[in-house]
Structure 1
Amino acid sequence: MSLGNLAMRIIFITLGAVMMAVGLELFLVPNQMTDGGIAGISIILSHVTGAPLGLYLFLLNVPFLIIGYKQIGKTFALSTLLGIGIMSVATFLLHPVPPFVTNSFLAVVYGGVILGIGVGIVIRFGGSLDGTEIVAILFNKRTAFSVGEIVMFFNLFIMVVAGFVFSFEKAMYSLIAYYIAFKMIDVTIEGLNDSKAVWVISDNYKEIGDALLSRLGRGVTYMKGEGGFSGDEKKVIFTVITRLEEAKLKSIVEEHDPQAFLAIGNIHDVKGGRFKKRDIH
């Protein structure tokens, strides 16, 4: 990794960790709301014991990070350690600051958005701020449940406990905040203008490819394929478009071959090649 890339990773992981601390200390925690994962357990323990939130955020996350070190790799582990450390320190520094809002609905919306963007930034730059996923990966190897199911069960348990510690009304607010944060993580990682990968199999591949180039302004790649059932050689068109171009692409393919095989999938990152759209004259 180059020095420039390393510096950018450190800067954005720091930014994301501070944003999560802001979402917790200035929005959710003062309004007796919690989050999912290790952060949720830390909020509950901090409320019950009176100890600083940052202390629990660090102490509960680091053991799982060490246990899962072999599962996630050195770079991810160090990036996660950096994020967790900064988040913990930031919560210490922000704790004396008065909350931005005391209205529960505003706390849920803005807290969830800020927290979700912060977590998404850290994930996008190769780290994590919660050891829940590491725990889920370890349990996944020993149980029949998927990682996603384990995380869901874990968070539901936290929300139920939060209902007894705070109130079930606050727990329901917390569930909304968690959902908002979850969606904001996706938006931050994937971006608002998702790119889409497209595969087209058709005997009229040349006409379709030329039309995509001339009318959509997208470059195409022709790949060789072979039918698994028929054994016939096929040409596969591959291209990358934006979400806004999907309808036009479908109409182009339909126009040249209504029987064409068309598959479209979401992709989160595009680098290199000639993805930049060509001018259409």
Structure 2
Amino acid sequence: MPETDVKSGAEQQYLLEKIQHKKLPKRKIFQRIILITIGAMLVGVGLEIFLVPNNVVDGGITGISIMLSYLTGWKLGIFIFLLNSPFVFIGYKQIGKTFAFSTLYGIFVLSISTALLHPVPAFTQDILLAAVFGGIILGMGVGIVIRAGGSLDGTEILAILFNNKLPFSVGEIIMFFNLFILGSAGFVFSWDRAMYSLIAYFVASKTIDTTITGLDESKSVWIISENASQIGEAIMNRLGRGVTYMVGEGAYSGEDKKVIFCVINRLEEAKLKEIVSDFDDNAFLAVADIAEVRGGRFKKKYIH
């Protein structure tokens, strides 16, 4: 009987199980719940203890909610929950149920946190201090929630949808939305409050990046050199980092090239450049930031 491309029922079931989303273990689910709870509560503190009492707004749906709460007198948490709910449904359709449920839970905790913290007086009446420290606390909270696999604002989901129809990146669309929202604060509050809101937004965005990537930021390194073997040995012996050798071909010369790939942290970048320069001043060197590193042998092996 000739071979066919038709797989047996057992093979098809195996492939289906491999493709389908695996159920998260209970420990992972519990860990995610704890992190999202902590992150959402931190965002609540940043809003109700620092930003909102001083009429400083954040970007995204949260910024719109702050202004609507100010204009109507309704609780901030009501607007945060109601305005984000449609985007949670869109996220369920576009991204997946795990993300949607994580986001819905985070928004719910944030809404409750703002309601409970609303009677608490502001820590400071200095608007600049409120903008800076409110942005830091808010950014830490948002970063923790994102690392846990959720979100607290529907702007990102909306930007992903518009990205398919507009010639702009997701980041550019989010920036446009937020500039429009922060600019609107000038009409609702005052223009000095709008400028303080820009400060808070900038501080929060930088804190989010730091929280997501971590302080021990990793970098990928690509090195092409005639002395690749010596450079690789020196990296392993002097930095304690593992390296991987790959073979490439020069498009212009057609010659085979030995390529070094390794991962370091930002504190080791200067030392690595020194090592490469010691063996080959003309070596090609490319360094890029990495948001996360897992598996392999990235953990540093200290050389005594």
Q: Please classify the TM superposition score into its range, dividing by the shorter chain length.
A: over 0.9
Specify which of 7, 15, 21 is matched with residue 30 of structure 2: 7
Q: Deviations over 1:24-48 (max 9, x none)?
A: 1111101111110000000000111
Shift of 1:225: 2.2
CA distance in 2, matches of 1:225, 1:70: 42
Aligned partner of 2:227 in structure 1 is 204
Provide the alpha-carbon RMSD of the alignment. 1.3
**CA–CA distance in structure 1, aligned partners of residues 88 and 27 of structure 2:** 26
Residues in 1 aligned to 2:182 and 2:276: alpha-carbon distance in whole angstroms:
48
SS in 2 for 1:203: coil
Alignment partners' CA distance in 2, 1:243 and 1:169: 37
Query: Aligned with 2:302: secondary structure?
Result: coil
Q: 1:156 aligns to what?
A: 179
Q: Which residue among 58, 71, 92 is the counterpart of 2:81?
A: 58
Residue type matched to 1:181 in 2?
A
Deviates more, 1:85-94 or 1:224-233: 224-233
The CA distance in 1 between the partners of 2:82 and 2:270, in whole Å, is 50
Task: Find the counterpart in structure 2 of residue 229 from structure 1.
Answer: 252
Q: CA deviation at 1:177?
A: 0.6
Answer yes or no: is the 8 Å Cα contact 2:91–2:99 preserved in 1.
Answer: no
1:166-245 aligned within 5 A: 166-245=189-268
Distance in 1 separating the partners of 2:138 and 2:160: 23
Cα offset for 1:91? 0.8
Deviation at 1:73, TM superposition (A): 1.9
- Decide whether the 8 Å contact of 1:116 with 1:181 is kept in 2: yes
Match of 1:82 among 97, 105, 115: 105
- Higher mean C-alpha deviation, range 154-163 or range 17-26: 154-163
Q: 231-240 or 123-132: which moved more?
A: 231-240
Task: Quote how far apart the aligned CAs of 1:134 are.
Answer: 0.8
In terms of mean alpha carbon deviation, does 155-164 or 33-42 score higher? 155-164
Structure 1 window deviating more from structure 2 (200-209 vs 51-60): it is: 200-209
Q: CA deviation at 1:127?
A: 0.8
Number of the residue aligned with 1:280: 303
Q: Unaligned stretches of 5+ in structure 1?
A: none
Cα shift at 1:10 = 0.8
Give the distance between the partners of 2:279 and 2:179, measured in 1 at CA: 50
Q: Distance in 1 between matches of 2:237 and 2:101?
A: 47
Q: 2:167 is matched with which residue? A: 144
How many residue pairs end up in the alignment? 281
> What is residue 278 of structure 2 aligned with on the other side?
255
1:163–1:171 contact (8 Å) kept in structure 2: yes
Q: Report the secondary structure of 2:220's partner residue.
A: strand
Match of 1:27 in 2: 50
Name segments (4+ residues, structure 1) moved above 6 Å.
Answer: none
What SS does structure 1 have at the residue aligned with 2:146? helix
The answer on 1:69 being equivalent to 2:97 is no
**2:16 maps to what in 1?**
none
Higher mean displacement: 104-113 or 146-155: 146-155
Once the two structures are aligned, what percentage of the paired residues are identical? 64
Contact 2:87 2:158 in 1 (8 A): yes
- CA shift for structure 1 position 229: 3.4
Q: CA deviation at 1:223?
A: 1.8
CA distance in 2, matches of 1:27, 1:87: 15
1:84 is paired with a residue whose SS is: helix
Task: State the SS of the aligned residue for 1:68.
Answer: helix
Q: Displacement of 1:179 after TM fit?
A: 0.6
Residue 218 of structure 1 aligns to a residue whose secondary structure is: coil
Q: Which has the larger radius of gyration?
A: 2
SS of corresponding position for 1:102: coil
Amino acid at match of 1:268: A
